Amino acid sequence: MTAFPARFLFGSATSSHQVEGGNHHNDWWDWEARPGAIADGERSGDAAGWWAGRAEEDLARAAALGQNAHRMSLEWSRLEPEPGRFDRAAFDRYRAILDAARALGLEVALTLNHFTLPSWAAKLGGWTHPNLPALFEGFADRAARELGDRVALWATLNEPSVLAWMAYAGDRWPPGEKRLPSAFVAMRHMLEAHARGYEAVHRVLPHAEVGLVLNMPWFVPADPSRRLDRVAASLQDWAFSGAMLHALRHGELRFPLSWTRRRAPSLAGRLDWVGLNYYGRFDVRFDPRAAGSAFGRHVQEPTVKTEHNDWGRPSPEGMVAQLERLAALGVPLYVTENGMFDPDDTRRPRYLVEHVEALERAIARGLDVRGYFVWSLVDNFEWAEGWSTPFGLYALDRASGARTPRRSAEVYAAICRAREVPTALRTARAD
Ligand code: GAL
């Protein structure tokens, strides 16, 4: 008998800017134009053509693979091109996409904001500006009114801590401030935005389920017997996961090595579910020169090499460990992203099987996990990596627009159809 509950969601995930194409009015469009900003020198361009009409056919591919859900996001810059002015045609396009999903039997998990900001919001200073949470609340309210009859499962924001580190403490994502205090301010404002967005959706849709999506890599000391490795690993964990978990549980944003304690505005009770984006494990070695990354250096060999390999080493038990931590929040759990970039698709099939097997164990242990979404359905624009790190179940030929299923697509389809890992694919027997 399958470990998965009857209503378990098996899907894949995308985000607006990464697949839509032509998002001229957000912060990423401008950022991509800067020389050297994107690893392969490419731009999002037409992306996977979703806005121009290809969303529906890709969703049909997902359904044909046996998936019963899809996670996607709204592009704030399309829907509110100027503060307070909403674009009816853009809402119509999303309605068409959501209707197609429903007709295909796909339940949609809809993220209100997946990293990109409208250019006008970026000009204010992005998430460092104190008005951003209220502006986001206005957007959330409108989105719930326009699309609420089509969507039950909402997420406010995607990975606040990743955005804070990459874009505000770091300089690889817009606005690239490279100021640690900005990251803390941005994080606080994103938590406030979550709380306000939660309220806004619930005011319109009392029965909606509104969650937040966190990225929680598994940071482990490179040498567990070395105290400084343990300290560096736990500092990195705090920066990504611990700070968020603490804020969601105790309503207080606190940072290590600082006396800063800020009340996180009214978070208590404002979470109906939580999403885990999980890619892998990092082995952390203390390094006094690595002040910018909490005195920790990652020492494991990347599974697939690129200039920047930010996804860690595959480690399904890390996913279970993070789900166990999240269970302390007392709300249902979803794995909202899991996958690996693997151009040859030689390792991804096994990666997917191992992670679904780990999920079976987690559920058997009593964790209330309600869905699993592979990142991603089709190759897409991978932020600062451009098009150099393909994550898709489908390979995308950008010149022709052709989609080709990778072996991973078939392997995941077999899992979705059986609603468990079929015996022939189980790792004990896998090649
Ligand atoms: C996540 C992010 C996605 C995608 C993925 C793979 O952190 O939410 O947008 O880029 O990583 O890198």
What tens digit of pLDDT does each residue of 208-248 get?
999 999 999 999 999 999 999 999 999 999 999 999 999 99
Q: How far apart are CA 276 and CA 353, in angstroms?
A: 18
* Ligand 1 close to Cβ of residue 111 (< 6 A): no
CA distances from 424 to 8, 20, 58, 99, 363 (A): 22, 37, 28, 36, 21
Domain boundaries, the chain: 9-430
Q: What 3-state DSSP class applies to 406?
A: coil
Distance CA 116, CA 121 (A): 10
Specify the ligand 1 atom closest to the Cα of 389: 12
Cβ(107) to ligand 1 under 6 A?
Answer: no
Q: Which of 173, 216, 168 is nearest to 190 (CA)?
A: 168
H-only helix segments in 212-346: 227-237, 243-250, 316-327
Rounded to whole angstroms, the Cα distance separating 202 from 205 reads 5
Does 20 sit in the ligand 1 pocket, CB within 6 Å? no
Helix or strand or coil: residue 105? coil
So what's the pLDDT on residue 302?
64
Q: How far is CA 44 from CA 41, 95, 362, in A?
A: 10, 23, 37
The tokens describing 180, both together, are: 């640690």
Q: Whose CA is nearest to atom 10 of ligand 1?
A: 382
Asked if residue 280 lies in contact with residue 360, where contact means CB atoms within 8 angstroms, the answer is no
Taking CA atoms only, the protein residue closest to ligand 1 atom 4 is 382
Q: Which ligand 1 atom sits nearest the alpha carbon of residue 385?
A: 12
Indicate whether residue 322 lines ligand 1 (CB < 6 A): no
298-330 confidence digits (pLDDT tens)? 987 666 665 556 688 999 999 999 999 999 999
337 lines ligand 1 (CB under 6 A): yes
Q: What is the pLDDT of residues 328-375, one digit of tens each?
A: 999 999 999 999 999 999 999 999 999 999 999 999 999 999 999 999
What separation in Å is there between the alpha carbon of 226 and the centre of ligand 1? 32
Note the CATH architecture for domain 9-430. Alpha-Beta Barrel (3.20)
- 237 Cβ contact list (under 8 Å, min separation 6): 219
pLDDT of residue 258: 58
**pTM, entire model:** 0.96
